[in-house]
Structures are given as C-alpha cells and as structure tokens.
Amino acid sequence: MTLSENTKKLQDFMKATPNPENIPEEELHSLYQLFIDTIVDHNHLYYIDAKPIISDVEYDELFSYLKAIEEYYPSIISWYSPTQALIGQLSDWFKKANHKTPLLSLENSYNEEDIRDWAQRFSKIAEKQWKTKWKYLLEPKFDGLSVEFVYQDWKLTQAITRWDWRLWEDITANVLMIPCMPKTIQVKEELHFRGEVLMPKSQLEKLNKEREEKGLTAFSNTRNAAAWSLKLLDSNEVWKRWLIVAIYEQLSWIPQDWEKLGLPTFNLPEKFRYTESIDDIVGWCLNPEVKQFLEEQDIDFDGLVIKVCDISNDNNEQSIRELLWSTEHHPRWAIAYKFPAQQVSSQIQSVDFQVWRTWIITPVANIEPVQLSGATISRVSLHNFDFIKTKQIKNKDYVRVQRSWEVIPYIVWSIKERRDWNEVEITAPEVCPVCWWAITNIDIHYYCTNPTCPAQIKEKIVHFASRDAMDIWWLWESVVEVLVEQKMLSSISDVYDLCDIRKQVILRRFPNFWERSVSELVDQIELSKTKPLWRILNALWIPNVWKKIAQDIALYLKEQWADSLDKILDALKDEKLWSLFGVWNKIINWIKRYVENPDTLWLLRSLEQHWVVFNALNEEWWTSNKNLWDKEHFSLTWTFPISRGEFVKQLEEKWYIYDENPSHTTQIMFIWDKAWSKADKAQSLWIPIYNDWIEIQKKFWIEVTTPIQNKPKVIQWWLF
C-alpha cells in the first residue's frame, strides 16, 4: 500500500478506536509497526524533502496515538520508534543543536466538557498542595513552526527547531533574516524564549502566485510555507519570504519584560485575556467574537490556549506551574482549545475497496478534492456497509464532510436534496480487490478468504519480525512490502531463505538496500533462529495468542519437557492447557485448529528445516523468571509524574509482574490522575488500590528520574 493509503488506514482506525487500551491484542504488533513506518515516511517527506502530504495536525494526531500505544503497552516499545529516536527527521543541511528545556506539546480540548474536565483535574492536584487561588490566561494558538530562540551577551546566538526536546536543527542563519526578529536585546544574561515562525496569509497568496507562474506547486497553507522557507539553504531567499515571529513563552530562569526587550508578540484583546473564573474561559472560547477577531488577522490560528498562572508573584510561595509540573508529553497547567470542525460539501466520484490489517475489506469514497481545515481531502473512509446503510450513502451522492477533531475526514450525512437519479447503490465486491479470491461476510464486515493473499502474507510477516515476536530489526513493513511485491517472500518461512547468498545478491539491487543493511538483516535473521519459544508462539499469529499467553504456554511446555517440535505439537493438543489461567475454551479451540491445519504443519516443518529451534527447555525468558508464579502482579492506569514505561520498568526490576489489564491474578493496582475504566474494574475485582503518589514512591521505591518530571534547575516561565 502507498503512504497515503497507510495514513488513511491509520486515521480510520483512530476514529474507530480512540482509546489505545481497546486495541485487540492480536492486532497490536502489526498496527504498532504500521504507525512507526508511516510516521518515519512522513518525517522524511516533511523534514528532508519539504513536501508533506498531510497537515501538521494530522501528523500530530498520528504521533500522539503512537505515544499513547507505547504508554498503554510499554513492553512493545521499539528502539526504532520515532518516539525513541530521530528517525527520518534529521537532514545533513543544518547543524544539530540541543534543547536545554523540553518544548512540550499541548493537550487538546474540543468542547466545554473537555475544558471543565481539565480544570477539575488540575484543581484537585493544586488543592492537595494547599494552593487555592490562581488565574487563567487566554492566548491565540498560532499555526506555524515552533522555534526556541537563545539570546546571550545581548545577541541572538541560536534558533533551534522543535521536535525532539533533546536534539534538533540549528536554523540561526535563516532566523536572522526575519525582519521583525530583534538581533540584539538590552540584557546580557543567557535567555531562552519559545515562539512561532509564521507566514502572513497575504504573503502566502503572493508567494503561491509567483510559484504558479514558474510552474511550481503552490503551498496548501501558511504552516507548510513557513516550514519550507526555514529549510532553504540560501538565507538570502529566506529574507524574501517576509516571515514573522510571535514570542509566547520564556524558558529561562530570570523573568523579563518582553515589551521592553522589543520581542514581537501577539495577544487577544484585553477583555478576553485574564480571569479567575473557568466559566469566563468557557464563554470566551465559545464566543464567536473571539473567533471572528482571529479570522480577521493576517495570521493563521488553529485554536486558543488556556494557561494557569499565579494571581501575584510578590510572595515566595511555590508557583502554580511548578506545583502542577508536566507529564512526559504536555504541561498540566495549559491546554489547547480547538475550534469546532469545519464542514464542506463534495461529491463522491467513485468507491474503492481496500484490504485492511485484519483482512477486512473496507469501502473508501473518492470525493471531489476539497480544502478542509488547511488540508486537501480527496478520500474518506466509509468504514463498513452498516455505516453506508445508516447514513444512506450512494455512489455519486453529494455529502457533508468534516475533519473529526480537525484530523480525520468523516462523512456526516448525504445531501439527498441534491440527488439527480444518477446515484448508484454501494454494494460489496464479489472478490478480494487484492488477490481476486472470493470473500465472505461475517456480521457487518467482509473478509478475504485467500490464505495466500499478498495483503495477508505481508501482515503475517510484519508481525513475525516485530519486536515482541522474532525481533528481526531490519525487516520493517516498508521492506516487507517491497519483498512481497517482488515475490521474494510468499510465506513466513521464506524469511529464512533471505540468508541464501543468491537472494542477498538480488537484495542489493533493490533501492535503499546497501551492503551494510543486507548484512545486518541476515545477521538478525540468523539470530532469530535461537530465540525463546514464547517468541515463536507469539510470532506464528495463532488467533487470540499474544505475548502474555505465549509466555504462559511456553512455561507450560517446559513443565511438559517439550524439547522438540513433535512434543510441542502433542502438548498443545493436551486438555491440560485448561490449567493455565487466561487460556479459555475459545483459545484452546483456536490452538487445536491451528496445529492440526495441514498448512500450519507445513510451515512449522519448514521453519524446523531452516534450523529454527523448537525447544521449551532452552528458554532464556524462563531462566530469568524462575519464580514467576510466586511474584506479585500489578496493573496501573493513566497518568503519573513519570512515564508508564519507566514506572513499569522500575517495578519489573524489583521482580513484580505487569498485567496490562487488571484481572483475577492482579494483586496491586496503581491509580493516580485521570483514572478510567481500569479503576472500576479493579474495584469490582477487590484488588488493593494505591492512589497516593507519595505513598507509592516510599512503599515501592519509585524514583522520579526522568528530566521532564524532576524539578529542573531551569524552570519554564510563561510571561504575559
């Protein structure tokens, strides 16, 4: 599938499953890999080629969802995830630079309920620390490129783009060419500011007209135009773009008066700025006068920002922002309010059918391209045929389209009044659009029945090579897709044929396959042959058998002294599997069907012939977890002062066992900020609950070591 199709697939998935906690276990690994590959490709298009195909908001939604997956399932985190490394993002054009203070994103809200929920959450935290008074500040949310500006010895010495808060690119030479940005200030101390580089709407119109006269592609919005301009290698060309800057945050310790320093700022009218009432804030956010004021400006905005600040800084008590701190992703003392989704009408030109990750055949409408919230929309998912029936959508219909949460295109309804009798009913295809095999209907979905469908083969191999399966680093989805298309891979066992010297010669002829990458891929494949048995069980894609179940079954097989493939197959047919907690009748039936299937037996024998080790007694994971059954199980829910991954890691180092969801085996439940359904489930199971962070730290020896959560030597100050 193309990058656009993968992006669309992920956006549809996020719409259908807004909470990563509800991702089916059997789909988790392939979905996680798809997020990684898609985001890396978008990074390259935007940061290296400067030709993005999605909006900044769409990208942020993808990236935020990936981080949410890693929060819920920390064991799945891959070293090559864009959240862990700057993959596909850094070019060789600019020097690399370090951020001293994290440049965090903002939590988003979309309605009055979201705003009041945020205010209630931080109020509880503040009141526990005897902080009862504060005020709110409302600011515009700029739609530009976030940059850190560093002044030292009166001069602007550095400008650093925002991405990873540790390392990014130094664009000082280009920022110095922005006319409104002061090159010097009347302060000698080192000061750090955060602001937005913007392109005025009038300048974008002028620039696009010039580009069209030269036969170049026009920029879709001011955000992309500003980002492209800052990536120009010729700084003199940047001067011609007439970019502007808006400063909105000071990152250094000593507060300064921005107006006296001459730094460029932009604020809302005074009557919409400060208040001590959350009711006023809600009213201002919903006030059409505020939105109209922003729309009349020569700058693009994508919402409002609500901040908390102290009523007075005259006393020495701890500031409200120090007290609230930040999560790993966003400050607790600020939130963004996104304006209601815009709706436009367009006509459906045709309907395609694509095979999704679970072999579900999904209808997708190709619509007349329209501009919506800064992006060109030409394809919208129709989800399933129940959705089509409910919305009464026909091919050639005019429909109302909006971007849910300003991100995902969604058909709100069909405009029946505009029908002219040329509309056609949308019916399910008779064959798979990928392999042309017959399809089957189960409930509201249609599935491909071909076990050798290229779409299915690709998904199986991607899962087989994933981190929690055989952990073959270089066999990423983009690589698998190429190899399947070129008939190099037609089954899981073909992965081991890549070690053949003749196949390696062919691989080196493919684009982006160099000597080193091929060599490392072969090394990883060879290493996977001796991986623990639970990894093999998890990699085989047995329905309903994911990582935790695979580990439990591997331990059971060790007790049965299953040291060969034949003994393993016999043990998996044994009714004693009932003794394993969590292995229910449905899972046992699936396992039996799997091991009795002739295609499965062929695959397993083929893997055995490739020297893949099937031996439960040679179990590294078992060796390091001998007393597993005697250890306490724990689960946790939502936000803590440290990341979930760090929390789980520290407890696992103390030999506790992590349950992703509370169950009858769970003996400890940790709850803090924003507890949801897991808390209710823990209470219903009578699991002991710990919800006092100080008590949790002392009792379980939890250390707050992450730089974002530690009280830093340099504290963020937002001045007004």
List residues with catalytic annotation: 141
**Cβ atoms 114, 306 nearer than 8 A:** no
Q: Which of 38, 53, 46, 33 is nearest to 7 (CA)?
A: 38
| Helix residue ranges per DSSP H, 475-514 | 477-485, 501-507
- φ and ψ of 316, to 5 deg: -100, 10
Task: Encode 673-708 in three state secondary structure.
Answer: ECCCHHHHHHHHCCCCEECCHHHHHHHHCCCCCCCC
**Cβ atoms 463, 29 nearer than 8 A:** yes
Which residue, chain included where needed, has tokens 């179990």? 619
CA distance 446 to 627: 45
CA distance 546 to 541: 8
CA distance 528 to 526: 5
**Cβ atoms 641, 609 nearer than 8 A:** no
DSSP percent split of the chain into helix, strand, coil, nearest 5: 40, 20, 40
User: Residue 24: beta bridge partners?
Assistant: none
Q: String of b and e for 565-594 (b: at least 16 CB within 10 Å)? A: bebbbebbeeeebeeeeebeeebbeebeeb
**Cβ atoms 639, 674 nearer than 8 A:** yes
β-strands 445-448, 439-442 pairing: antiparallel
CA distance 676 to 638: 7
- For residue 302, give Cα distances in angstroms to 212, 213, 262, 295, 342: 26, 30, 26, 10, 12
**Cβ atoms 45, 62 nearer than 8 A:** no
Which residue, chain included where needed, has tokens 């083929």? 606
Which residue, chain included where needed, has tokens 């990750």? 357
- For residue 624, give Cα distances in angstroms to 458, 468, 532, 627, 655: 33, 17, 12, 9, 10
**Cβ atoms 690, 667 nearer than 8 A:** no
Residues 100, 103, 104, 108, Cα dihedral to 10°: 170
CA distance 638 to 669: 12
State the angle between helix axes of 56-72 and 25-43 in degrees (0 to 180), rounded to the nearest 10: 140
Nearest-Å Rg of the Cα atoms of the chain is 28
CA distance 420 to 429: 25
DSSP-based three-state secondary structure for 368 = strand
Contacts of 207-210 with CB under 8 Å at 24 or more apart are 207/241
DSSP-based three-state secondary structure for 506 = helix
Count H helices and E strands in the chain, helices first: 26, 22
CA distance 37 to 49: 17
CA distance 416 to 409: 20
Q: Which of 37, 16, 48, 36 is nearest to 76 (CA)?
A: 36
DSSP-based three-state secondary structure for 615 = coil
In which order are the strands placed within the sheet that holds 343-355? 375-381, 361-372, 343-355, 398-404, 408-414
